[in-house]
Amino acid sequence: MKQIFVGADLFDGERIIKDHALVIEDGFIKALVPFSERPHDSEIIDLAGGILSPGFIDIQVNGGGGTLLNENPTPEGIGAIADAHRRFGTTALLPTVITDHQKIIDDALQATRIAREKRWDIFGIHVEGPFIDVAKKGAHPANHVRPLTDADIHHLAEARSGVLLLTVATNKVTPDQITALTRAGIHVSLGHSNATDREAKAAIDAGARAVTHLFNAMSQCEGRAPGLVGAALADPRVICGLIADGHHVAPTAILAALAAKGAKGIALISDAMPSAAGGPDHFTLQGRVVRRQNKKLTLDDGTLAGADITMLDAVQYMLSLGVPLADTLKMATQTPARLIGLEDKIGALRPGYPADIVHLGPDHRLLGVFYGGKRLD
């Protein structure tokens, strides 16, 4: 079946295109054509304004809709998280498991393999820890933090199904280990680390190409001690994940990072917990209660414990800071796709890409989500 979407601007992953129609056939994008050249032998869907964007891509989502991957590391748990976030425009994601018992991590890896066989919105998994620095553990349980071994590298390579994004502490994993991970097809992200800028640069030179939730749980940038933040901002090879929720990073710091990296160097992430995407006001994280207050999630000691946002919230927050629409949408689509090496498959409105699309109104409210060309109720 062929559909022609008209009446809205198009963000193709790089720029905003006006006076064009989007042609979809059998769930995939067939063409972008000038409005005057649109086919007339198909179903016309007049969107009456707004903008069509590729569906959002979330590379760090711990939970949503009341489900937490660490507590439910099953294909059903992954499906529940993905379904909850899809209603808010996220059409591709990496379910994320944090530092825990090795069995929990292994179950999440196996669940991802099964989930990928059943649905096309799961492209792999983000394993955040346990190879991190206790000094910058954040809400991760210290008793499960441990060094990376050669056996771990082999195990992760064998267990990988699709994309495997692995967060490690720059000062706790050697450059040789990072090289071994990348040669095994694993994407290495630096985070939860008290590394110096020299240690960070050595990790980047060894193959790390991402930083996990920039500014959070890492050594900060000071004049004579640039830390992991400084190394990440200075190196164009690195894409930085960023939680744009008004709690994790101050607006000035967000704008400074964007000035340094540009939209091609910042990937918006939700770092979502079960409370996001319609979930409850409190939940349990590894036996500890996390509470939501004013869309801020904390443990009883005040430690931030993930975020209470969807990718739509992150997009709307960036726009509230005055970031241009095209830059904001790129950070939610093409940049995260490029971080995980899938920019030739998702994150753009191009022929052959899946018709997973978000329709935003002139005020940037969500007007509709199309998954495989079908509008979600």
- What are the sequence ranges of the domains in the chain? 2-53+351-375, 56-339
* pTM of full prediction above 0.85: yes
Q: Provide the pLDDT confidence category of residue 1 given band limits of 50, 70 and 90.
A: confident
β pairing state of 90-98 and 56-61: parallel
The conformational region for residue 155 under phi > 0 = left, psi -120 to 50 = alpha, else beta, is: alpha
Residue 41 pLDDT greater than 90, yes or no = no
271 counts as catalytic: yes
Helices 227-234, 251-261: inter-axial angle, 10-degree rounding: 40
CA 12/CA 346 separation, integer angstroms: 11
Q: Within 10 Å of residue 259's Cβ, how many Cβ atoms?
A: 9
Q: Is 40 exposed, middle or buried (0-12, 13-18, 19+ CB in 10 A)?
A: exposed
Topology annotation, domain 56-339: TIM Barrel (3.20.20)
Percentage of the residues of the chain whose pLDDT score is greater than 70: 100
Mean pLDDT, rounded, for 55-60: 98
pLDDT at 217: 98
Mean pLDDT, rounded, for 105-130: 97
Active-site residue among 271, 308, 313, 356? 271
Mean pLDDT, rounded, for 348-356: 98
**Architecture in CATH for domain 2-53+351-375:** Roll (2.30)
Residue 377 pLDDT greater than 90, yes or no = no
pLDDT at 103: 98
Residue 127 pLDDT greater than 90, yes or no = yes
Residue 153 pLDDT greater than 80, yes or no = yes
Q: What is the mean pLDDT of the chain?
A: 97
pLDDT at 263: 98
Classify residue 170 by its DSSP letter.
T
Model confidence pLDDT, tens digit, residues 159-218: 999 999 999 999 899 999 999 999 999 999 999 999 999 999 999 999 999 999 999 999
pLDDT at 177: 98
Q: Provide the pLDDT confidence category of residue 40 given band limits of 50, 70 and 90.
A: confident
Contact 345, 337 (CB under 8 A): yes
